[in-house]
Structure 1
Amino acid sequence: MFKYTETERVLKSYESFIEGAFDSDAKKIHGTIIAENDTIIENYKTCDAFLKNEEFVRKNPQSEPNRFLQTNVFRQLIRNVTIKLGFTDQDLNPFYIQLMYNICRYEKAWYFNRNPASPWCAIFTPRQLEILEYWQDLDDYYIDGYGNRLSTHLGCFAAQDLIHQFERVIQAKQNGRQDYPKVVTSFGHSAIVNMLFTTLDIAKDSFSIRSDNFNTNKTNNRLWRTSKLTPFASNLASVLYECEGTNNTIDYKMEFYLNEILLRNYGSNNGVWKWTDFYDKFKSIISKCSLDVCKTPSDIKVEQV
């Protein structure tokens, strides 16, 4: 079962995945376009509270990403880049700094075999790239990550779908049936992936990242690092295993892979979950999935630890 949103880049991701997985049989696979009123993958696009919060984070001077622009460390970055490019009249606008950063990282992804991958990357030092990465992390954190209370609610539907799909498999096997999909794959955007992380407590730090705690021991070792979590073609895979238990019983277990790498620190046993433990942990959350939160303005939840 394959589903994808009707946007060009998502369609290309879906087609590349199918070609890689099925090779010459790829043309036999027919995916389904996700409906515009979908509540699992694209619910945030019609959520007024989410959209209002996104506007606040992007435009309000008091949002954490914009407050970071006013810190000494970012102002010095702007000054140094301005001088390096030979401008003397006035410092560059952060918009142009971000534009050059985006070109650098996009071309580095597109032309990864080329050396150098992008001449735009020569503008920045490794230290400056870390600063810009943190700026991007703040943006995602407060729009669709742990810094927005809506994230857990909107990611709830994807978590609910995951659990219901596995329940369907287990019930079918217990009844001796084979009428269940072996693979369920949805192709969407990084926002819903980030929100699913928040629902499932993946990459959750014990503190909030803020404009005023860059370059501390905590933030330097943060789990919320979008260059690792949601790069191009990012993916989260959950796998259900049927294992032999004691006294001829069947134990079901799970693993999660982020961008093809096992999340060893997620779960109770080196990345392996007992199905019953996972279900018990999240059943109360998925039983309350609701879009009612979209009817009221969003506020930002910042946990000071």
Structure 2
Amino acid sequence: MRWVLLGALALVTLVGGQETCLSGEEDPYFLFGTKTAYTFSNRGIPTDRHHEVLGCQPAAIWLLSRHGSHNPEADEIPNLQKLVDFKNNIISNYRNGNFRNTNQRICTSDLNLLERWEWNSRLNATFAGDLTSDGYISTQQLAQAWKQRYPGLMTENKYDFLFKYVNDRRSETSYRAFTEGLFREQAETYDVRKENDENKLRPYKFCPAWQKDVEENNDTLGQVRTFESKQEYKEMITNISLRLGFNYDINKEMVENMYDMCRYNKAWNIAQISPWCAVFTKEDLKRLEYAEDLETYYKYGYGNPMNQKVSCAGVKDMMDFFKIHVDNATPQQPKAQIHLTEAPTLLLTLAALNARRDSAPLTGDNYHTNFVQNRKWANSAMAPFNGNLAAILYKCTPNGNFQVKEEHQVLFLENERPLYLEGCRVGLCDWSYVKQRMGVVADNCNMEFCNSATKINGLLSLSVVLVVFSRFLL
């Protein structure tokens, strides 16, 4: 039966004319927002070179490190499983020759890839959200890379480390992978100091004001909806539908399911072609990437002023850690403070540092402008799987480097390469500047505003109760 089907498909190819074959793209697009593999995010940029600061020695490192690739979350699995029936419908379209435009259909080799795709039974509630084997290995490799780069800070001494992460399985797995990368087979015997205060590590989740004004606010996704309402976005869905042989436009949610499966597949196995990626043209993928950039810009970035208020906790943590090392003449422990975190925390912290700030807001109306095409706020570069943000404190010898005029310097790295910050030199900042700019954020970090929404709602509820009660008495 399989050979009969393939023969029929070959006949359709001969009769129907040209096909759109996307799996063989010579220069494929692999920037998939927050589900981008670390390798693709750093492609073409060397990350193995040491960041030496002449006349200076590293004294401490503060590191935010996102987890590696993971299985779909529990609430994603039901939607992704719909692709099983959807795949069968696509094959049926080919079998029945259901095409409004035969010149736009995916090619036979792409269809064969799709036909071989099956749902992995391990993608279930039991393993939902946990690291994949690739995510585990890439986390080990990242730890090894940091140790190789800063051996004086990431030593074999367990007292030189403090790990912070939340109390869930993915974070526990990330901790195990990272420490194995650092200490190899000795990791299990090392009782490294660790903390898991979730209020400090994920403050936005415990901030009612943020939940109300950002998370649950319909306006937060307003620009995403504007972008998706554009004729070109609708035409993208029409073209995808044509490509797959449907006589109607498939719904946006199914397009998003295919996109999620595509980017999960490429993160799990970067060398393998995903049949679901072959559904999209390069321009389709760029539009879908921008839709997620818009979402995070308003949900975690500069699109809402409250994001920078709730994100101050990370900056305060960094400043408190560095002050201990700056204020003491002798070396202090721990030398390395490592936060195993997730994309929202990484994005919020970058916003708190005023990094990757564009000259104008991202909107649903300006996709085709040069400004947006070269935007700084891009999830693929900022928060891929294993994305990281590091700040390294250096102690310098006077006159050891004519460009370094202060005893202490801080080098900021994003995904192992210098992070541009205004007022600094290719990521290298004077300690006085860091104290002035980021110390203000840390010193004014007050999360009391978080409960303002709760207090206001409580007062309103009390007022309503009093009014009703007074009327009852009357």
TM range (shorter): 0.7 to 0.9
Deviations 1:175-228 (A, max 9, x none): x3x443110011122111111111101111111000001021100000000011
Counterpart position of 2:238: 79
Counterpart position of 1:113: 271
- Matched residues, percent identical? 30
> C-alpha distance in 2, partners of 1:5/1:61?
26
Counterpart position of 2:210: 50
SS in structure 1 at match of 2:394: strand
Contact 1:13 1:233 in 2 (8 A): no
Report whether the alignment pairs 1:30 with 2:30: no
Please show how residues 6-25 of structure 1 align to structure 2 within 5 Å. 6-25=167-186
Higher RCO (C-alpha 8 Å, min separation 6)? 2
Report whether the alignment pairs 1:195 with 2:339: no
Residues 206 and 25 (structure 1 numbering): CA distance in 2 closer, same or farther, change over 3 Å?
same
Report whether the alignment pairs 1:271 with 2:416: no
Letter in 2 for 1:41: L
Counterpart position of 2:416: 260
**Which of 364, 367, 383 is matched with 1:230 structurally?**
383
SS in structure 1 at match of 2:407: strand
Deviation at 1:29, TM superposition (A): 4.2
> C-alpha distance in 1, partners of 2:194/2:221?
42
Contact 2:207 2:450 in 1 (8 A): yes
> C-alpha distance in 2, partners of 1:51/1:91?
34
Deviation at 1:131, TM superposition (A): 0.2
Deviation at 1:266, TM superposition (A): 5.5
> C-alpha distance in 2, partners of 1:64/1:7?
33
Contact 2:411 2:427 in 1 (8 A): yes
Please show how residues 72-221 of structure 1 align to structure 2 within 5 Å. 72-88=231-247, 90-114=248-272, 116=273, 118-172=274-328, 174=329, 176=330, 178-221=331-374
> C-alpha distance in 1, partners of 2:232/2:179?
44
Counterpart position of 1:302: none
> C-alpha distance in 2, partners of 1:120/1:197?
32
Structure 2 gap segments, 5+ residues each: 1-161, 454-474
Equivalenced residues, count: 286
Higher radius of gyration, 1 or 2: 2
Deviation at 1:9, TM superposition (A): 2.3
SS in structure 1 at match of 2:201: coil
Deviation at 1:7, TM superposition (A): 2.2
Contact 1:6 1:33 in 2 (8 A): no
Deviation at 1:261, TM superposition (A): 1.6
> C-alpha distance in 2, partners of 1:87/1:289?
54
Counterpart position of 2:23: none
Residues 140 and 186 (structure 1 numbering): CA distance in 2 closer, same or farther, change over 3 Å?
same
> C-alpha distance in 2, partners of 1:92/1:50?
35
SS in structure 2 at match of 1:68: helix
Residues 267 and 16 (structure 1 numbering): CA distance in 2 closer, same or farther, change over 3 Å?
farther
> C-alpha distance in 2, partners of 1:286/1:265?
17
Deviation at 1:104, TM superposition (A): 0.8
Residues 77 and 31 (structure 1 numbering): CA distance in 2 closer, same or farther, change over 3 Å?
farther
Deviation at 1:56, TM superposition (A): 2.6
SS in structure 1 at match of 2:217: helix
Counterpart position of 1:300: none
Residues 191 and 62 (structure 1 numbering): CA distance in 2 closer, same or farther, change over 3 Å?
closer
Letter in 2 for 1:295: N
> C-alpha distance in 1, partners of 2:356/2:314?
17
> TM (normalized to structure 2)?
0.57
Deviation at 1:171, TM superposition (A): 1.3
Contact 2:166 2:197 in 1 (8 A): yes
Counterpart position of 1:301: none
Counterpart position of 2:165: 4
> TM (normalized to structure 1)?
0.88
Deviation at 1:296, TM superposition (A): 4.6
Counterpart position of 1:63: 222
